[in-house]
Amino acid sequence: MNKSIVLASSSPYRRELLAKLGLPFRSRKPDVDETPLANETPHALVARLAEEKARAIAHDLPDALVIGSDQVAVVEGNILGKPGTHERAVAQLQQASGKAVTFLTGLCVLDASQGRAQTEVVPYEVHFRELSLKQIERYLEKEQPYDCAGSFKSEGLGIVLFERLVGDDPNALIGLPLIRLVRMLEQAGIDLP
């Protein structure tokens, strides 16, 4: 198949992950309101936003395969987004301390020429160690993960915050579940090794 692949994301983490597949692609930032709908579950939220991001980009690229993704962290039923500030990151890590946090990553591959979307939600569970405020502050000072849902980078020093990880694809934790993505791309006609 000769379709161009477009990543509907400005995330450097997602770009880095997609590059691992060795496929030529470009990325474009989608303009999508990420506000949850009334009574929308975290699962429904990430599925909807992944597809909305893909459709927002596909509008201008009618012959592309567009990959959309969105992620939230959920602890005790509460959504943790990107903290944005040091204070919110401290609060998020204090809330996660000693608990299991489920990361839900919505993934969509949209064939713009047909308007057909494959959409899935991939869960990944992180069990945090009991963290002191001093440990949290030291970690945030070194890594400053203020643009990451849950306030850590598992691919970096964030690994010291965990007791264990549970899931099928560690890439899902970073924001783009490559194992599912490979299957979806193959179903869309892309040949992978």
Per-residue model confidence as pLDDT tens digits over 124-180: 999 999 999 999 999 999 999 998 888 998 888 999 999 999 999 999 999 999 999
Going by the DSSP 8-state scheme, the letter that residue 157 receives in this structure is: G
Give this prediction's pTM. Answer: 0.91
Residue 30 has pLDDT above 90, yes or no: yes
- Output the pLDDT for position 1: 52
- Output the pLDDT for position 39: 93
- Output the pLDDT for position 146: 94
Instruction: Say if 148 falls within a structural domain.
Output: yes
Using CA of residue 144, residue 150, residue 104, residue 157, what is the dihedral sign? positive
Strands 4-8 and 64-75, by their bridges, are parallel
Instruction: Say if 192 falls within a structural domain.
Output: no
pLDDT (tens digit per residue) in 67-119: 999 999 999 988 888 899 999 999 999 999 999 999 999 999 999 999 999 99
- Domain range for 53 is 4-187
CA distance 28 to 54: 10
CA distance 112 to 116: 7
For the beta carbon of residue 85, count every other beta carbon within 10 angstroms.
10
First-to-last alpha carbon distance for the chain, in angstroms, is: 14
Q: Which amino acid is at 166?
A: V
Catalytic residue among 60, 70, 147, 169: 70
CA distance 6 to 123: 23
How distant, in Å, are the alpha carbons of 44, 48, 80, 187 from that of 37? Answer: 9, 10, 16, 30
Strand boundaries in the chain, DSSP class E: 4-8, 26-28, 64-75, 78-80, 100-111, 116-128, 162-167
Q: H or E stretch including 55?
A: helix 42-58
Instruction: Say if 158 falls within a structural domain.
Output: yes
Instruction: Say if 112 falls within a structural domain.
Output: yes
CA distance 89 to 97: 12
Instruction: Say if 193 falls within a structural domain.
Output: no
- What's the gap between Cα 60 and its chain centre? 23
Active site residue 70: yes
Burial class (CB in 10 A: 0-12, 13-18, 19+), 58: buried
CATH number, position 101: 3.90.950.10
Number of domains in the chain: 1
